[in-house]
Amino acid sequence: MAELARDWDRPHSRVQNELTATALALIAAHLEDLPRWVQARSSGLGDEAIADLSGTMACVVALALDGWPVSGLPDIGDAVKALRRWSAGEPVSQVAGALGVPVARLRRQLVEGHSELTPRRLTTSDLGARYGWTPSAISQYRRKGTLPAVDGLEGSRAWWWEATIDSWENARELHWCRECEHAFVAVSGLKEHSTRIHGC
């Protein structure tokens, strides 16, 4: 590990974080397969064969079932526990607790995209970026019930599963301003905006 960190010219802790995030992302896709992997192995199937069945690599199977080959990294059992908490909608503090990392660090990693806990949770600022909405527009949409009910709260901050927002968007027709990539829920909103902002 120390050597790896030197070669990459990055602090040891940073490499450790990146490896953890990568492991989480690799295993996250197969969370549901884990019980079957354990069963398949105990019935004598090799990791290659198990990996083939799930469309992954043998090293991912080994990583999930045996953990890291070197010590000093978070236990993969902990990572799986953390992922289960995340997909059950538990707050980041609980997920960080299961991983044994400081909450602030995990939060920063999630925001910066270093940690890929899946499925994704979207915050109001993610909605702002996606639809070009201001925070006050978003609270109005929430109050009026235009947006779906939140899937969870992180402290006082609302979040939705990406799938909740995707299916909400698919089920309704949003009106997009082509000039500024801003979405409107009503066609009248788009018309008013086009006249006021773009003069057409």
End-to-end CA distance of the chain: give it in Å, rounded. 60
Residue (180 or 186) nearer to Zn ion, CB? 180
Nearest to 25 by CA among 92, 88, 79: 79
Contact characters 53-92, Zn ion, x per CB under 5 A: ----------------------------------------
**Which of 14, 24, 5 has the alpha carbon at shortest distance from 99?**
24
Shortest separation between residue 137's beta carbon and Zn ion, angstroms: 14
Interacting span for Zn ion (CB under 5 A) from 14-22, 37-45, 109-117, 179-187: 179-187
Measured in degrees and rounded to the nearest 5, phi and psi for residue 56 equal -130, -165
Q: Quick one: which segment of 52-60, 94-102, 130-138, 171-179 binds Zn ion (CB under 5 A)?
A: 171-179
54: closest CA among 75, 40, 69?
40
CA distances in angstroms from 125 to 38, 132, 144, listed in the order given: 40, 10, 19
**Shortest separation between residue 182's beta carbon and Zn ion, angstroms:** 5
Q: How far is the CB of 192 from Zn ion (least distance, A)?
A: 11
* Euclidean distance between CA atoms 129 and 35, whole angstroms: 38
Cα distance between residue 166 and residue 168, in whole Å: 5
* Residue 187 touches Zn ion, criterion: CB under 5 A: no
Q: Contacting Zn ion (CB under 5 A), which of 179, 191, 192, 195?
A: 179
Binding residue (CB under 5 A) for Zn ion from 180, 186, 192, 195? 180
Q: Which residues bind Zn ion (CB under 5 A)?
A: 177, 179-180
